[in-house]
Structure 1
Amino acid sequence: MSLSIENSKTEALHFENVAECTLVDPEAEKKLVRKIDLYLMPSVFILYLFSYVDRSNIGLAKIAGMEEDLNLSSDQYYTAVIVWVIGYTIAAVPSNMILSRSRPSIFIPIITFGWGSVAALIGIVRHQSQLIALRFLLGVFEAGFSPAVIFLISTWYRKSEQSKRFIIFLTAGILSGAFGSIVSGAITSTLDGAHGIRGWRWLFIVEGVATAGISLLVHWTLLDFPNSSRGLSADEQKLAQARLVEDGTADRGSAETQNPSIFVALGKAVSNWRTWVLVPSYMTILGALAISYFYPTLINGMGYTSTAAQYMTAPLYLVSLVFAVPVCWFADRKPHLRGRLLVVNLVTGMVFFALTAGIRNYTARYVFLCFINMTIWTGNALGLSFATTALASVNRDVRAIMLAWMNGVAALAQLYGSALFPAQDSPEYLVGFSVFAATFAIGAVCYGVADTLFKRYPYKE
């Protein structure tokens, strides 16, 4: 304990020294940011690619034979989908509490190996209870990843740099939805029957083993924190902290202020009103993200074969990039407009959800799904950068917990989101699209209120 306190005092003194040198050399800073990008962003991009594939491939497996082989009813499939959310919500905050007091370059590879192994085991399940148990464990292991990345980006980058990094990170989810469906279609069609194993089982086995394999490599590329990350020289570590002090993002003050007990930090995070403003706002976005589990089913219901439906899922994600990237670039140029951009984005999504509910033409509906996916992923990136910017001056440990709480509790919205597309509503799914239209309208109001409150009452320690 004395050693921990002494280290904390040393760290506090280091921050005070850094604070004296807040005039950051622009050229040196650009060089450092490029180095941070080179270490951090490819690692989290690749891991999120595998993470999103491992959590969402159940939708592709469903129409590739899993439903029949396991004799899954609509309710049982819904349970298998949402139990992942329950595991995720339970584990998100404890995971970030561990992360903030450990090394991300060790913690993240460990949980990645865990969820990859669990994902591969789903390929050998024999009945519904095994599927449900493994999906729960998958949620527990994956819970530590996205909140960890959200926290790391808020720890390494200035406020005006974060939207672009979040869309780079989330692009992995977009591309996994696009190319993951193509790869999954190839796996299920070419390996079906190999060694007497059905194609949908190979889907889980191949993708899970690949995830576990990649976890063994990322330890060497992931960054830890600005004051302690290997791969950076002492001068680069000092510069990394100085630019965040200049931006109002790094912790300053006494060691006790910077390093409270982790349970004191938990209490501060839960009692801060900003947490409870951000949670319902972000819920409206994450709830809609549950529709990704049903894209293959929705397209299949338009009259396409299961394999064709897997391939036709790809364009829904590819067109999202066309919209999300320039919007996030603009949001970093004008960070004070993020709240308003979120409101406009959610209103746009509301309109297309409503149009999909009201129009039955399959071609029009497919086009509307493209626009819906655009607003979901753009809103996700803007919602994350809006939160990290609003909480930039919050103590590091408290911020880690607040962001994990926002992400974990908001994930509960997928409980209702996943229940909105039962088989008996096929192919119109009027209730599902109508509810999402309403939640996006609520989200627009929530972010409008949050933007006003955060500007009027900025956080002060």
Structure 2
Amino acid sequence: MKENSAGSDTQHSRTHSILRVDSFASALTQESRRPRQEKSEAEKRLVRKLDRRLMLWAFFGYFANGLDRNNMPNAYTNGMDTELNLASDKYNWAITMFFIGYIILQIPANAIITKVRPSIMLPGVVFVWGAIVCFMALVKNYQGLYGLRICLGFSEAAFYPGIVFLLGSWYSREELGTRTAVFVAGSQVSGAFSGLISGAIASGLDGVHGMRGWKWLFIIEGLLAVVIGFCGFFLLPDFPHNTRFIVGEERDLAIERLERQGKKTLSTGLNLTTFRNLLTTPYVWLFLFTFICFQEGMGILQNFPIILSKLGYSSSFANYMMVPIWVWVAVVLVVQGWLSDRYGKRAWHILAGSAWTLLWYVVLVAVDGGKSPIVLVFVAAYMIPPIFGASPIMMTWLNEIYQNDSETRALAIAIVNSLGNLAPNFINIKAWIVTDAPDFRTGKIVTMSMTALTLVLIGITYYLEQNKILLPKVHQRITTTDEEKKKDIREVV
């Protein structure tokens, strides 16, 4: 009788586990429809601590990332074009070399981030890429620039997807959109400061100690990344189950509030569920092509200093004009992220931002056959930023769709970001050729078309999610008692 009783208890436990798996998608849907609950004081303190440490460092880390990745237009207008002979498409190839290195290491880097301490890995890569940018001031020809741009891509590969994954490992769905937007805004703010720094260098440091302004640009911005990377070793958390400065009841709260929304907080290792979720569900591929379209949608601002320079304005003026534009982009981006948290339905916020941007690209192409007057170009520069805000909202949505398996979520983020960044740069080699400036008619047409495609892709993704078609599956190993959960945590730590 005792054996039968024990067998009955075991069978009941297994049945309970299966029921939890089967009800996973339903629980997530119900959670998303519940009204907002007021946070306890303990939870508010936890979020404030995360904001002071994780968000603060992530913002400034991406600030440095934006400076060091996107300083090529500013360097180009500060003498690099003539000293390194960057005529024709050589400049665009220098941009693309970065993304060749970026894609090679990004997916492997995010595959291992669930197994290492982000508080060491992520600050380390910031420190290394800062040093590489400083060395770029020593190159003598465009071949040397190509080599260091590839190395820069290697070193930066882990940062963006790693931070997006880490944010998704700490913040709830009511917090994640805003935080992801604030993080990404660091890169936009860097665009503003890059213009100020470049303008100051062009007018004050160009020729000092026999070095042109572009070399000073690389040295100053590279050293800033080195300092930020060093600070990260003391600020950044790891995961809820193993962060040294979050322990006891606060650690339990950090884990419980995410599990309450169905988010997987512990790594289970690569398994068949991981590969099935990536290869047989359409979401990662839909997000990938959407991300490619987003990157193309940003083309006009990425080439704005070159447009102004080719129209006869000084390099200082061209760089200074980017300051208010990038500040405006950052504001729009954070507002969009907050609205998506406040009202939910990420897809509708992406569709609205993309449609608005598409309208202005249609105007740029239609007016005077693409030879837009300078006033219209300035107005459009302030009107298209919603496409920038759509990108972090999409990454938040990706974090949520793949929340039931840590490995799947990490790899999905890396696939979307790496391949999504690589493809546009090969497209831009022929779409945004520097010698086509200031009109860039081909670039405008390509960008307009791909922004229109965004609307179709997001509509398909939203339809599939709402109808629960081919949603990612939860890993079958499910703990049913508090003791089993504690055992899992001890094994990971």
- TM-score, length of structure 2 as denominator length: 0.84
Letter in 1 for 2:314: T
In structure 1, the residue matched to 2:363 is 355
Q: 1:245 aligns with which of 259, 262, 275?
A: 259
Q: Sort the Cα spacing of 1:25 and 1:351 in 2 relative to 1 into closer, same or farther, 3 A.
A: closer
1:29 correspondence with 2:43: yes
In structure 2, the residue matched to 1:300 is 309
In structure 2, the residue matched to 1:456 is 467
Task: State the Cα distance separating 1:349 from its structure 2 match.
Answer: 0.8
In structure 2, the residue matched to 1:346 is 354
Q: Sort the Cα spacing of 1:218 and 1:263 in 2 relative to 1 into closer, same or farther, 3 A.
A: farther
CA contact (8 A) 1:120 1:208 kept: yes
Task: State the Cα distance separating 1:365 from its structure 2 match.
Answer: 1.1
In structure 2, the residue matched to 1:401 is 411
Task: State the Cα distance separating 1:97 from its structure 2 match.
Answer: 1.4
In structure 1, the residue matched to 2:488 is none
Q: Sort the Cα spacing of 1:308 and 1:263 in 2 relative to 1 into closer, same or farther, 3 A.
A: farther
**Alignment identity in percent?**
29
Q: Sort the Cα spacing of 1:309 and 1:456 in 2 relative to 1 into closer, same or farther, 3 A.
A: same
Moved more, 23-32 or 227-236: 23-32
In structure 1, the residue matched to 2:211 is 197
Task: State the Cα distance separating 1:392 from its structure 2 match.
Answer: 1.9
Letter in 1 for 2:303: F
In structure 2, the residue matched to 1:236 is 250
Q: 2:403 aligns with which of 371, 381, 392?
A: 392
Deviations 1:38-91 (A, max 9, x none): 110000001100011001111101011100011111211110011111111111
Q: 2:67 aligns with which of 53, 56, 67?
A: 53
In structure 2, the residue matched to 1:7 is none
1:325 partner SS:
helix
Task: State the Cα distance separating 1:175 from its structure 2 match.
Answer: 0.6
Task: State the Cα distance separating 1:307 from its structure 2 match.
Answer: 1.0
- The count of residues paired between Structure 1 and Structure 2 equals 433
Q: How does 1:233-312 map to 2 (within 5 A)?
A: 233-251=247-265, 258-261=267-270, 265=274, 268-312=277-321
Q: How does 1:46-445 map to 2 (within 5 A)?
A: 46-251=60-265, 258-261=267-270, 265=274, 268-335=277-344, 337-359=345-367, 360-372=372-384, 374-393=385-404, 395-415=405-425, 416-445=427-456
Q: Sort the Cα spacing of 1:177 and 1:263 in 2 relative to 1 into closer, same or farther, 3 A.
A: farther
Larger Rg: 1 or 2?
A: 2
In structure 1, the residue matched to 2:34 is none
Q: Sort the Cα spacing of 1:410 and 1:177 in 2 relative to 1 into closer, same or farther, 3 A.
A: same
Letter in 2 for 1:357: V
For residues 38 and 358 of structure 2, the distance between their equivalents in structure 1, rounded to whole angstroms, comes to 43
Letter in 1 for 2:445: S
CA contact (8 A) 2:169 2:265 kept: no
Task: State the Cα distance separating 1:426 from its structure 2 match.
Answer: 2.2
Deviations 1:306-325 (A, max 9, x none): 11000001122122234333
Letter in 2 for 1:369: A
Task: State the Cα distance separating 1:452 from its structure 2 match.
Answer: 1.2
Letter in 2 for 1:414: P
Letter in 2 for 1:341: H
For residues 274 and 381 of structure 1, the distance between their equivalents in structure 2, rounded to whole angstroms, comes to 16
CA contact (8 A) 2:299 2:443 kept: no
For residues 301 and 104 of structure 2, the distance between their equivalents in structure 1, rounded to whole angstroms, comes to 22
Q: Sort the Cα spacing of 1:24 and 1:243 in 2 relative to 1 into closer, same or farther, 3 A.
A: farther
1:35 partner SS:
helix
In structure 2, the residue matched to 1:255 is none
In structure 2, the residue matched to 1:4 is none
For residues 51 and 25 of structure 1, the distance between their equivalents in structure 2, rounded to whole angstroms, comes to 33
Letter in 2 for 1:249: K
Deviations 1:148-170 (A, max 9, x none): 01101111111121110011101
CA contact (8 A) 1:32 1:236 kept: yes
Letter in 2 for 1:133: G
CA contact (8 A) 1:340 1:448 kept: no
For residues 56 and 285 of structure 1, the distance between their equivalents in structure 2, rounded to whole angstroms, comes to 17
Letter in 2 for 1:459: P
Task: State the Cα distance separating 1:147 from its structure 2 match.
Answer: 0.3
For residues 418 and 376 of structure 1, the distance between their equivalents in structure 2, rounded to whole angstroms, comes to 21
Runs of 4+ in 1 over 6 A off after TM superposition: 22-25
In structure 1, the residue matched to 2:4 is none
Task: State the Cα distance separating 1:260 from its structure 2 match.
Answer: 2.6
Letter in 2 for 1:233: V
In structure 1, the residue matched to 2:53 is 39
| Structure 2 unaligned residues grouped into runs of 5+ | 1-19, 21-30, 32-36, 475-493
For residues 473 and 276 of structure 2, the distance between their equivalents in structure 1, rounded to whole angstroms, comes to 17
Deviations 1:274-321 (A, max 9, x none): 211211112111233454442210222333111100000112212223
1:411 partner SS:
helix
Q: Sort the Cα spacing of 1:172 and 1:262 in 2 relative to 1 into closer, same or farther, 3 A.
A: farther
